[in-house]
Amino acid sequence: MTLIRRPRRLRVSAPMRRLVREVRPQRAQLVLPLFVREGLEEAREIPSLPGVKQYPLSHIGSVVADAADAGLGGVMLFAIPATRDPEGTAACDADGILNAAIREAVAAAGERLVVMADLCLDEFTDHGHCGVLAADGSVDNDATLAVYARMAVAQARAGAHVLGLSGMMDGQVAVVRDALDADGFTDVSLLAYAAKFASAFYGPFRDAVESTLEGDRRTYQMDPANRREGSVEAALDEAEGADFVMVKPALPYLDVLADVAAQSSVPVAAYHVSGEYAQIEAAAARGWIDRRAAHTEALTSIVRAGADIVVTYAAHELAAWLEEDA
């Protein structure tokens, strides 16, 4: 046969495949989520997230230093307080567990990586919702924004470089930006969880933060059936002053991620969430899939869809694998 084009020519060897590869994830794109729990003395395994731990405050500095040594781009801090109340009071406490962890992380990071902090109330409220509740039990959007503003300033004072606005309240970016600027924190960046879906893939994360949620978050997180709405949400957040926008989860929403990346003028992040990670870990533990290949393929597909930044529990190992394959 005479074939003018034989695409297989570009697949004949590992060096050839490496030469023509279109997508090349980098260690500096990776952000590692970290869980710090008040009252712990030693790190504690999270059974539904193999390899992931809750850390005591005293360990955060060394964990962040290890992340910097691995070449990661950043860490994202989540905290579990000892006590919770309906308003999530501990979230705004300058000496609370999250703000104390931010200070430890920033000191350990130096100029080597970016310290991000989760800005949401779900870990701090006794009802487990991402905001304060109205008398009828619904999440009060505007009352929640007032708390987010105070929480943002507290995190900025603790030294956070980036605040991860994950609550999906309407107007949260604008309110937080105004609060930060009014307090002189014009250099603190905002990562808006712009398209955060009401997903079944958050289960292990809720174990990790010991969630007390009853019911669901469908009145503020997005319907998984909606694609165009993701672009609308991202555009609104960008117009309000978001410095980055996020799509979460990642793999089930690669179409939304591609849409957002195509329209965005700011960097786009994606969160390879706990349930996605746990699926790979569980299947690999049973010998059903190749763990390294599966995690690497997942990362590549997320970057291929348009993510500039990937938040992933596999960040450490992915960084090592990427370095080996460079």
Please tell me the distance from the alpha carbon of residue 215 to that of residue 148, in angstroms, as a whole number.
22
Q: What positions carry a catalytic annotation?
A: 196, 248
